[in-house]
Structure 1
Amino acid sequence: MKLQPLEDRIVVRPNESEEKTASGLVIPDTAKEKPQQGEVLAVGPGR
């Protein structure tokens, strides 16, 4: 998929979070922290 953002926008792919702990416990979505982190895929040309 090829995306070209307009103006001063960016395209970000969110990082995947762990579904299980090291001991094997499953973490439900309601108990997870929701960090705002990801990989920048494309940057627009600016204004």
Structure 2
Amino acid sequence: MAPLNWLILFIYFLMMFLMILIIIYFTYMKFIKFKSNKMYKMKNYNKFI
């Protein structure tokens, strides 16, 4: 039963690590997109006027 326990723990920590990585990645991407979108939206806004 011990190897199974370690396997479950390993999978659990791996999942947590992946979740944290994905969250960091998405927030980072959103931050970059937000910065670039501001300039893009300003250009579009000028086009409409």
Fold conserved between structures, TM > 0.5: no
Q: With the length of structure 2 as denominator, give the TM-score of the two structures.
A: 0.20
- Answer 1 or 2: which has greater strand percent: 1
Q: With the length of structure 1 as denominator, give the TM-score of the two structures.
A: 0.20
- Answer 1 or 2: which has greater helix percent: 2
